[in-house]
């Protein structure tokens, strides 16, 4: 990747005017939009955001810009990190994050009309929706950039970007790593999005899940077509000793139509301090959160537990993306 002009003059505490970055005015709907070059660009900008926040806390880079956060599903980390990202950059937020039951959606308004309304007030829209493909529908109607914050069991591209960034920052590289995905691989949109991003790199992939929560065949076929070293197993013990990254997910009760199936698998995996004794000295445990028991609290004090550092990285990645799509990075 060619050398970038710094985004900020931290000595003068002023932003530096940027040229077009290839993301200006674009939607962020899928990880398929990102190749290695674009990933490295976003990561470089995220590092600058981290340095800026650490030194001066915030900037006026996006002063005068407004972000609409439209969440049809509950969210803590994604919604708050987008809000924090926009405010750290000097912009404003329309927060529809307490549930659309308090909006005109409760009166029967369509997604298209809600998007058309919000774009009248904002420069970009972040959308979380329970239906696969909803982000694309929103983008079809919007004249401002739409950022997909999760569309059902489909994709969660900004989460995948922050996950990959965390791996890079924690371990110093991505190529050559062994990445093990554990838990709900069928409904876990974060797993599927991260897996697709990892196909840009020379990695080995291990998928650990009960039978009914295996990685969807469509995603597995992409892994196979990319000629990656890949294996499936039901037992974390099969992967823990060699894994560089242990990416753990909760079993998502809200995705099950048959709750008896959920009860069968909800406690299938638990990451304990005893299990971590078998892991490499230099590796990371990650989780998109929230957790519901799959990682014991005692593991939190392990320096290899990266999930709260992962959370913080989400703000820096989303700051980089917002600045990029709004033409300021």
| 156 has catalytic annotation | yes
3-state secondary structure of 247: strand
Which contiguous run of DSSP H or E holds residue 121? none
Model confidence at 301: pLDDT above 60: yes
Which architecture characterizes domain 8-155+314-325 according to CATH?
A: 3-Layer(aba) Sandwich (3.40)
Same fold, 8-155+314-325 and 157-311: yes
User: Which are the contacts of 258, defined by CB distance < 8 A and separation ≥ 6?
Assistant: none
185-235 pLDDT per residue, tens: 988 889 999 999 999 999 999 999 888 888 999 999 999 999 999 999 999
| 218 has catalytic annotation | no
Q: Under a CB-based contact definition with an 8 Å cutoff, are residues 127 and 146 in contact?
A: yes
Model confidence at 58: pLDDT above 50: yes
Structure tokens belonging to residue 284 = 């990371």
| 128 has catalytic annotation | yes
| 129 has catalytic annotation | no
Class of the CATH-defined domain 157-311: alpha beta
Task: Indicate which residue of 18, 45, 88, 156 is catalytic.
Answer: 156
Domain segments of the chain as ranges: 8-155+314-325, 157-311
Structure tokens belonging to residue 23 = 């993301």
| 77 has catalytic annotation | yes
Q: Under a CB-based contact definition with an 8 Å cutoff, are residues 266 and 209 in contact?
A: no
102-159 pLDDT per residue, tens: 455 555 689 999 999 999 999 999 999 989 999 999 999 999 999 999 998 788 999 9
Please, is 184 exposed, middle or buried when counting C-beta atoms within 10 Å of its C-beta (0-12, 13-18, 19+)?
buried
């Amino acid at each position: 990747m060619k050398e970038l002009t710094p985004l900020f003059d931290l000595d003068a505490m002023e932003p530096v005017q940027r040229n077009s970055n290839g993301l200006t005015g674009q939607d962020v709907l899928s990880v398929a939009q990102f190749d290695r070059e674009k990933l490295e660009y976003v990561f470089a900008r995220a590092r600058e955001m981290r340095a800026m926040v650490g030194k001066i806390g915030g900037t006026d880079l996006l002063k005068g810009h407004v972000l609409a956060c439209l969440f049809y599903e509950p969210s803590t980390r994604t919604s708050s990190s987008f809000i924090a990202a926009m405010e750290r950059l000097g912009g404003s937020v329309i927060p529809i994050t307490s549930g659309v039951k308090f909006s005109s959606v409760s009166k029967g308004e369509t997604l298209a009309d809600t998007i058309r309304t919000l774009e009248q007030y904002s420069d970009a829209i972040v959308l979380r929706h329970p239906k696969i493909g909803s982000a694309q529908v929103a983008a079809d109607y919007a004249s401002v950039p739409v950022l997909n914050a999760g569309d059902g069991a489909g994709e969660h591209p900004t989460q995948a970007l922050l996950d990959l960034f965390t791996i890079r920052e924690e371990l110093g590289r991505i190529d050559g790593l062994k990445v093990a995905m554990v838990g709900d691989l069928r409904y876990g949109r974060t797993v599927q999005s991260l897996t697709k991003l990892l196909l840009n790199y020379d990695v080995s992939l291990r998928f650990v899940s009960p039978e009914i929560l295996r990685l969807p065949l469509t995603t597995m076929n992409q892994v196979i077509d990319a000629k990656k070293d890949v294996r499936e197993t039901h037992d974390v013990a099969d992967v823990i000793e060699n894994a560089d990254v242990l990416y753990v997910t909760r079993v998502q009760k809200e995705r099950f139509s048959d709750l008896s199936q959920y009860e069968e698998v909800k406690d299938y995996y638990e990451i304990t301090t005893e299990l971590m004794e078998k892991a490499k000295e230099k590796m990371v445990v990650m989780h998109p959160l929230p957790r519901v028991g799959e990682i014991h609290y005692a593991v939190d004090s392990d320096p290899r537990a990266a999930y709260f550092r992962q959370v913080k990285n989400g703000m820096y990645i989303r700051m980089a993306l917002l600045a990029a799509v709004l033409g300021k990075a």
